């Protein structure tokens, strides 16, 4: 459970800044939102530095001495390699040399740590007893990458196909996590229940966003009225100053 939380949090942390920025496109963000954003950013940077520094320190001091450590190193750094690599490619496409070099350095760092994790797993492979040993990392990685992809595109316009895909992918995930949360709460395990409930709420919100987009896509042009000799005619409400009644409105050059 803790492994799923770590990997999912890494993915959400990378995706959150873009969607938060999109929410303020129409004007400056309020001060309270800036405070939350900077606090979140500080926590993310601190957690990233601590986690990466721990892997580097243990690798350099030959403290990578178990199969579980190797699996943890592969799971965390493999996901970060994917994310930094995607950012590097995007920066290169946009001809942003500085960002490409910076993200390329992070990609190389986490690729190296991932390879070291693979070597550690190979060295201690005799400790492997059951497939369930790596299942939390696999599920956490899949959930994190999936959520990061959808969250990172919340600020864009989308068609019905995108909305259908977002709903059909995230609705089952939300339902499954909701069941796990209910099961944990019903057996008195509040911590796991809160974790699964929180992750399920995120997937549920994405599913609702997908359903809304499926019904009312955001990439369709505004509805136009009847084109009558160069004039757009649409039904509307008209008033004589006293009462309202249905009527027609015309717009164009007269």
Report pLDDT digits (tens) over 163-209. Answer: 888 899 899 998 988 898 888 888 888 888 888 888 888 889 989 99
What SS3 state is found at 231? Answer: strand
φ, ψ (nearest 5 deg) of residue 11: -65, -45
Q: In whole angstroms, how far apart are CA 253 and each of 172, 231, 237? A: 52, 7, 21
Segment 31-56, tens digit of pLDDT: 666 666 677 777 778 888 888 888 88
- Tens of pLDDT, residue by residue over 117-175, are 888 888 887 776 655 555 676 777 788 888 888 887 877 888 888 888 889 989 999 89
Q: Which of 90-94, 100-104, 109-113, 115-119 has the lowest mean pLDDT?
A: 90-94
Measured CA angle at 89 (ends 83, 92), to 5 deg: 140
pLDDT computed for residue 75 by the predictor: 82
Number of Cβ within 10 Å of residue 188's Cβ equals 7
φ/ψ (deg, to 5) at 243: -130, 160
């Amino acid at each position: 459970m803790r492994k799923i939380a770590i990997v999912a949090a890494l993915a959400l942390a990378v995706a959150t800044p873009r969607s938060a920025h999109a929410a303020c496109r129409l004007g400056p963000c309020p001060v309270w939102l800036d405070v939350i954003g900077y606090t979140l950013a500080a926590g993310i940077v601190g957690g990233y530095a601590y986690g990466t520094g721990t892997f580097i320190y243990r690798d350099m001091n030959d403290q990578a001495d178990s199969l579980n450590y190797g699996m943890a190193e592969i799971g965390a750094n493999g996901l970060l390699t994917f994310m930094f690599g995607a950012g590097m490619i995007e920066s290169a496409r946009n001809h942003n040399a500085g960002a490409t070099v910076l993200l390329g350095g992070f990609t190389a760092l986490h690729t190296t740590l991932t390879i070291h994790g693979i070597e550690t797993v190979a060295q201690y492979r005799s400790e492997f007893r059951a497939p369930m040993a790596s299942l939390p990392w696999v599920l956490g990685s899949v959930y994190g990458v999936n959520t990061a992809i959808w969250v990172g595109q919340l600020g864009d316009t989308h068609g019905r196909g995108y909305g259908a895909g977002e709903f059909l992918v995230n609705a089952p995930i939300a339902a499954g996590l909701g069941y796990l949360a209910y099961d944990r709460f019903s057996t008195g395990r509040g911590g796991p229940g809160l974790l699964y409930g929180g992750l399920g709420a995120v997937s549920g919100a994405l599913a609702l966003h997908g359903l809304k987009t499926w019904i009312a896509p955001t990439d369709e042009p505004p509805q136009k009225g009847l084109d009558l000799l160069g004039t757009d005619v649409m039904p509307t409400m008209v008033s004589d100053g006293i009462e309202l009644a249905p009527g027609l409105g015309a717009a164009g050059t007269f």
